């Protein structure tokens, strides 16, 4: 599957943020050393105040109009155990999960691929 012809978001601008405060139409995140308000992309389901909480890690993209939008939220996980190669986690939506230690890093490339494969970039706002 090829890349969308007219993607309104520059993927190199995809970055991480940590949620500080949550409202239904926007949240305040901490990114690049400072707090800033950010709206949600249309794809982020409501009620957002029940799905997103302070401390959550989010992916932020720049919309065609230059505004920043939260496009993704990672789920909470509790580390149950670890050894040199594997980490055992519990996630609220998935239960117990085993992952390789190198997979534990947040991969913005995975979020970018998800949006590419589903042609979601032009439908953010």
Residue 53 forms part of a structural domain: yes
Residue 90 forms part of a structural domain: no
Residue 55 forms part of a structural domain: yes
The values of phi and psi at residue 124, to 5°, are -75, -40
The values of phi and psi at residue 85, to 5°, are -115, -25
- Residue 106 CA: distances (Å) to CA of 7, 15, 46, 94: 23, 11, 24, 17
Half-sphere exposure of 124 toward its Cβ, with a 13 Å CA cutoff? 26
% of the chain beyond a pLDDT of 70: 84
% of the chain beyond a pLDDT of 90: 26
Residue 34 forms part of a structural domain: yes
**Domain enclosing residue 32, as ranges:** 11-75+106-123
Q: What is the CATH number of the domain that holds 63?
A: 2.40.50.140
Q: pLDDT grade, residue 67 (50/70/90)?
A: confident
Does the pTM exceed 0.75? no
pLDDT of residue 103: 54
Residue 49 forms part of a structural domain: yes
Residue 56 forms part of a structural domain: yes
Residues 8-54 pLDDT 10s = 544 447 888 999 999 999 999 998 889 999 999 998 999 999 889 88
Number of domains in the chain: 1
Residue 98 forms part of a structural domain: no
């Amino acid at each position: 599957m090829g890349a969308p012809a007219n993607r309104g978001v520059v993927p190199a601008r995809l970055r991480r943020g940590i949620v500080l405060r949550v409202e239904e139409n926007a949240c305040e995140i901490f990114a690049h050393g400072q707090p800033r308000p950010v709206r949600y992309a249309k794809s982020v389901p409501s009620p957002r105040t029940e799905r997103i909480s302070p401390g959550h890690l989010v992916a932020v993209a720049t919309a065609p109009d230059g505004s920043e939008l939260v496009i993704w939220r990672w789920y909470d996980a509790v580390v149950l155990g670890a050894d040199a190669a594997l980490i055992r986690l519990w996630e609220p939506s998935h239960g117990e999960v085993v992952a390789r230690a190198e997979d534990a890093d947040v991969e913005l490339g995975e979020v970018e691929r998800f949006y590419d494969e589903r042609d979601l970039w032009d439908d953010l706002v």
